[in-house]
Amino acid sequence: LSTNKVVLRNAVYQSVTPKEILREKMFNYLDINLNRDENIVIVADSLNRPIENRLKEIFSSATILRPEINGYLLPELVDSLLVDSLPNRVILESDNFSLISSVSAQMSAQISDLREVQLFTTYHGNVYENGNLSRKQLGDLRFTFASGHFPLKKSEYSSFQERYIEAFGKPPNREAIRAYDLTLDFLLRFAYRGGVDNIDQIGETEYQENRF
């Protein structure tokens, strides 16, 4: 259940999509879907300079917006770099909650009838699950990222999720759902094969929010 690199020995499987794969998917997505004539702005903290450089190679005319040391953007600088004449595509690269919160709040405030702003990231880490991060702002920005799971809508709660809510008073988070899906998948594969040998040769399976 880790995005970090795992040594894949016999009977060792990595159920979470590695960060590098998700990033490559997003690099390809951005390369194909973003128009070079649009106003592309890259916001990356000091820990993500290699990602910034990779994005700059793809979008050579993109504007680089560097955050301040304390993890925020200068409002007047944001306002001056976003335009009304073109769609604004902002790519954010950070695991710093303060910066992510600042960017989402300021970019959301820039949206108007004349100004279109959309937010992207090449990696959606656990910091985005922080309950203090405004889901409305991210929704207004049509926040786009690659994900290893596909969450169900509230109206689509499964029996497992309903039982979880009854037991704990809140819906299961994605780690709990993945653990449930993974355990169920292992048990079914184990029962089908009669052991752990070659359980990965059964093919693709699909459960609550995950495929294996």
Read off the pLDDT of residues 131-154 as tens digits, 9 standing for 90 and up: 888 999 999 999 999 987 666 665
| Higher-confidence position of 67 and 212 | 67
- For residue 176, what pLDDT is reported? 87
What is the mean predicted confidence (pLDDT) over 196-204? 79
Closest C-alpha among 137, 64, 70 to residue 98: 70
**pTM over cut 0.75:** yes
Task: Say whether pLDDT at 22 is over 70.
Answer: yes
Burial of 174 (0-12, 13-18, 19+ CB in 10 A): middle
Residue 88 or residue 211, greater confidence? 88
Q: Tell me what percent of the residues of the chain surpass a pLDDT of 70.
A: 96
